[in-house]
């Protein structure tokens, strides 16, 4: 039987494991190790790590944008292959939205490319569970923002939460 999975905010020492998890979760973009350390330190209050024993099996990075105090912007969500299909995404999203740092949050935003169906399903499920609207629009486009090096990222907005 699978070991139980526990959730907590990340610590700076978790940075290397976060980098390894993201590297093992294509199609996620890898970030610099330094960036993952910042997520686990300065942004720890709005990130969550999921642990099966001492193995990192899930991670959500995100923050509250400085000019949007009512919004949780989710940067990345990753679940290790060994822990998939157990609804861990929804557990981590609920954990994040109930954090003290998210008390003013009434909506979640994230960006998704057109070909990332698993991600679209994850956020459609969140919207359904929370009885919230979900809509999307182009945000960072291939031509204008990525100089043709990356597919357009669509901004998904889920909310308002009731």
Ligand X SMILES: CC(C)(COP(=O)(O)OP(=O)(O)OC[C@H]1O[C@@H](n2cnc3c(N)ncnc32)[C@H](O)[C@@H]1OP(=O)(O)O)[C@@H](O)C(=O)NCCC(=O)NCCS
Q: How far is the CB of 28 from ligand X (least distance, A)?
A: 5
- The nearer residue to ligand X, 3 or 104, going by C-beta atoms, is 3
- Which residues of this protein are in contact with ligand X, per CB under 6 A? 25, 27-28, 76-79, 84-90, 116-119, 121-122, 125
- What's the token pair of residue 69? 């105090």
Please, are residues 59 and 22 in contact by the beta-carbon 8 Å criterion?
A: yes
**Which CB atom, from 100 or from 137, has the smaller least distance to ligand X?**
137
- Residue closer to ligand X, measured from CB, 100 or 115: 115
Q: Which of 28, 9, 6 is closest to 101 using CA atoms?
A: 9
Give the Cα separation of 57 and 101 in Å (integer).
23
Tell me the closest approach of the beta carbon of residue 93 to ligand X, in angstroms: 9
Distances (CA, A) of 98 to 8, 102, 111, 130, 138: 12, 6, 21, 13, 28
Q: What is the smallest separation between the CB atom of 4 and ligand X, expressed in angstroms? A: 15
Specify the residue for token string 């960036």.
Answer: 35
Shortest gap between Cβ of 33 and ligand X (angstroms)?
19
Cβ closer to ligand X: 56 or 77?
Answer: 77
């Amino acid at each position: 039987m699978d070991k139980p999975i526990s959730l907590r905010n990340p610590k700076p020492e978790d940075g290397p494991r976060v980098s390894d998890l993201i590297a093992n979760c294509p199609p996620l973009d890898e970030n610099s190790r330094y960036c993952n350390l910042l997520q686990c330190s300065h942004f720890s209050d709005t990130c969550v790590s999921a642990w099966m024993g001492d193995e990192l099996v899930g991670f959500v990075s995100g923050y509250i944008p400085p000019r949007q105090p009512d919004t949780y912007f989710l940067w990345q969500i990753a679940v290790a292959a060994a822990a998939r299909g157990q609804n861990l995404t929804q557990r981590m999203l609920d954990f994040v939205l109930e954090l003290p740092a998210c008390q003013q949050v009434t909506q979640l935003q994230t960006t998704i490319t057109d070909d990332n169906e698993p991600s679209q399903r994850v956020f459609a499920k969140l919207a359904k569970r929370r009885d919230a609207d979900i809509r999307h629009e182009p945000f960072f486009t291939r031509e204008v923002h990525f100089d043709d090096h990356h597919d357009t990222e669509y901004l998904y907005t889920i909310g308002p939460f009731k």
